[in-house]
Structure 1
Amino acid sequence: MTLQSSGARPPGVTDRFRRLHDAVAASSAGLGWNRAREMELLHRAMGFAALGFLTLVPLLVVVAAADPASGQGFARWLGQALGVSAASQQQVEELFAPPGTALQRTTAFGLAALAVFGLTFGSAVQTGYEKVWDLPTARWHTMWRHVVFLALLVFALLLFVNTPAFGRSVPGTVGTAVADVLGTFVFFWVAQRLLLGGRVRWGALLPGAVATAVFILGLRIFSQLVFSPLIASNAVTYGPFGTVLVLQSWLVGVGVVVYGGALVGRLVHEERVRRRLERTVLPGFDGPEPGR
């Protein structure tokens, strides 16, 4: 009689593990995980954070200083987006110059350079969306879309910072949250269609815009609970560099939400199309083409 090695699994156990693995891999969660690995979601989110901090933040500092409605400066914008406490807000403000200083010391050439660098941020977001939908890189003559995207982003931020923050009452908090979600949904719905050059239908992009808006609201709540205390504690431990680390971590989270929301939207769209086709035309259909 042949003895089974102590490290080997019985055939029945191995078969059950294999069936479980196949079931998980075939599920929506498994498919989403595999696609996130294929498009290197975390690495793209880290690139999103680094590029945003280097190219987009300097431009927004100048735009915030020129905003006559708020006059608060970019530090106030960032603090409102993070939902930080008063102590953490003070640490964020120490990283940036007073609102009037950035505008007074910026030349026309410097502003033009900031705008050009800001366009590279739109190009990075476009590339991420193209990876989500498995689309080829757009041609060079579509670069005007980056200009429009940057203008829409600045306009959306101006609307965001000039709307009331979360109120102390429950109705005020709910109303502000609903307004934020609706505004974020409209922006990312239009942004996806714009950056993808119309290669994906509006209806296919709808679930991704909804998912991104909800995820950003969740990230904002998470920031109030986690990032706000971290800013205050890291500022004591590491100084201003600790605040920068927290802000970079938050930007990585924003990148995950932006690309991950679009990826979830594609999965939802494909599942809806598959179910509709199974009910009507093709019972053995494996999945739709991107954006169809």
Structure 2
Amino acid sequence: MRLPRGTRGRRKEQLLLARMRVVRARSEAERRFPVITELTARLFSPGLLDSATRMASQLFLTSIPLLFAVAAFAPEGVRNQMNSSLRSLFGISGASAEQLRQALYSPGDLRQTTGIIGLLMALLSGTSCSRAVARVCEHAWQLPKSGTRVAAWRWLLWIACWVVVLLFQGVLRNGFGAGLWLGLPLTFAASFLVWWWTARLLLSARIRWLSLVPGALLTAIASTAMSLTARIYMPIALNRSLAQYGSLGLVLMVLSWLIAFCIAVTFAITAGAVLAQERPLSAYLGPTGPERRGT
């Protein structure tokens, strides 16, 4: 049924008026809050998702061999801690938990496969993950790449500390035995400190500590939220994928979660950088350049 010409004309006029109101409201918001324009432009830039997926792929390709290499030479207490942390991180149970146990508790086979040279190579290759995270931070702050001489030791330090932090995820999330009511704020606080230090380290101290606070807060919120959803969704998804596709299913599920995690972290780091550089926060945080002293 076709509308009369008068009715169609009124509909077009109403749509035009509504569009003009939206444009006017957007212009007014951008005038009052210029951070909105910069935030939108930065979050929807073409290279942002590329940086996130690159970080996820590097994290996957380097973290799993590195964890197995560490488990090959670590004492049983460290392997127990690693098993507890990985199970807590992804909520692993059932068949997938058995697969993890078999992978971590075969030190003899792992040592023969890995060797000391393999362990060192896994640690050195892990710096590619550090470089990917550093590039995300530099892209967020629109900084050039750091020189290799300045940043090489930072890459090694970051990947080594990352392994240590991962080992303690189990006890943190359990609140040192007190439960989730304490584990959740502890996880958030630890995540904030780790990402705050990460940005400072991998940016080669080119950005002041105070300016990095918004990004660390947003990244802690994003990573904590992702960890909570992982505990709910991943156990079922991992066991289902293992039953249908075998070990390949586990690989695909972990990679999918890492991509989602890295996208959330990349968006949070970028949003934090924009908020720190634009008003009103920039008036309180001060200049976003490096400090005169310290590293």
Same fold (TM over 0.5): yes
Corresponding position of 2:162:
153
The reply to whether residue 245 of structure 1 matches residue 257 of structure 2 is: no
The reply to whether residue 81 of structure 1 matches residue 89 of structure 2 is: yes
Q: For 1:30-68, what per-residue CA distance to the aligned partner results, in whole angstroms no more than 9, with x for missing partners?
A: 643421222633322221221112122201212134333
Q: Distance in 1 between matches of 2:164 and 2:284?
A: 38
Q: CA deviation at 1:102?
A: 1.8
The reply to whether residue 123 of structure 1 matches residue 119 of structure 2 is: no
Q: Distance in 1 between matches of 2:197 and 2:85?
A: 23
- CA RMSD, aligned part only? 3.3
1:51-66 to 2 correspondences below 5 Å: 51-66=58-73
Q: Distance in 1 between matches of 2:80 and 2:284?
A: 50
Give the number of aligned pairs.
Answer: 278
92, 104, 111: which one aligns with 2:119: 111
190, 195, 199: which one aligns with 1:192: 199
Q: Distance in 1 between matches of 2:172 and 2:193?
A: 19
Corresponding position of 1:72:
80
Unaligned runs of 5+ in 2: 1-5, 291-295
Q: Distance in 2 between matches of 1:81 and 1:231?
A: 13
Q: Distance in 2 between matches of 1:259 and 1:220?
A: 16
1:205-244 to 2 correspondences below 5 Å: 205-244=212-251
Residues 274, 159 of structure 1: CA spacing in aligned structure 2 closer, same or farther, 3 A cutoff?
closer
1:188–1:209 Cα contact (<8 Å) kept: yes
SS of the equivalent of 2:229 reads helix
Q: CA deviation at 1:83?
A: 2.0
Q: Distance in 2 between matches of 1:111 and 1:13?
A: 63
Q: Distance in 2 between matches of 1:20 and 1:41?
A: 27
Q: Distance in 2 between matches of 1:38 and 1:24?
A: 21
Shift >6 Å, 4+ stretches: none
Mean alpha-carbon deviation: is it higher for 141-150 or for 188-197? Answer: 141-150
1:83–1:220 Cα contact (<8 Å) kept: no
Residues 70, 32 of structure 1: CA spacing in aligned structure 2 closer, same or farther, 3 A cutoff?
same
Q: CA deviation at 1:257?
A: 3.2
Mean alpha-carbon deviation: is it higher for 147-156 or for 187-196? Answer: 147-156
Code of the residue aligned with 1:64 in structure 2: it is A
Q: CA deviation at 1:168?
A: 12
Q: CA deviation at 1:117?
A: 0.9
The reply to whether residue 16 of structure 1 matches residue 21 of structure 2 is: yes
261, 264, 269: which one aligns with 1:262: 269
Residues 53, 18 of structure 1: CA spacing in aligned structure 2 closer, same or farther, 3 A cutoff?
same
Q: TM-score, normalised by structure 2?
A: 0.80
Q: TM-score, normalised by structure 1?
A: 0.81
Q: Distance in 1 between matches of 2:176 and 2:216?
A: 28
Q: Distance in 1 between matches of 2:95 and 2:40?
A: 38
1:21-40 to 2 correspondences below 5 Å: 21-22=26-27, 31-38=38-45, 40=47
Unaligned runs of 5+ in 1: 278-287
Identical columns (%): 25
